[in-house]
Structure 1
């Protein structure tokens, strides 16, 4: 009877991966690999570098991939639904408009590692009454 060694494999190293240590493709159960992403990518935890462990079942604890940084629609920012479309890539700028009662804090919104900037995109408008006493 022969035993088969359980291994995990790095399936594809994409352009978003800047580096991985150790530099090999197959890992035994219990071994780990550290993936470092390029400046325009991150792992699922929104970090640029993370260590992944090969499990006893031959699967990684989490998929060791770098994903391109994108910004989703800015929920809870009082942005008009029709003004920012879909997911935007890092560095992309979009014009936007705010819901009624709010005003834009900049001409364009920029997708950054921390989400849309400026933050907040919209700010409430306040009306002031001037009381004149005679």
Structure 2
């Protein structure tokens, strides 16, 4: 919710910073990507833009080919698969989009699992 962000929750800033760093590493221009937020529910105002709203509006803006990934997750979950990989593809195509590519999370890639294990061990602070 927007109120959480207004009250100091760093999540939206962290999402934008992650996107900026990934775009830099991939040589993607500042105007060639957008950060959006999914899973909005209830009556509260949410941080935006909404991912689902973008699936409808991007084709109308001339974006007919779309690559989508969710770096906020360490692995694909059912919510991501349903909302983004499946329903998002259908919504984008129904809105006039041509090509939709969902890029899966790192999931079980051995290098990712090793990096994740190292992060956990480093942050356990000796607790076992």
Tell me the TM-score normalised to structure 2 length.
Answer: 0.20
Return the structure number with greater strand share: 1
Larger Rg computed on CA atoms: 1
Return the structure number with greater helix share: 2
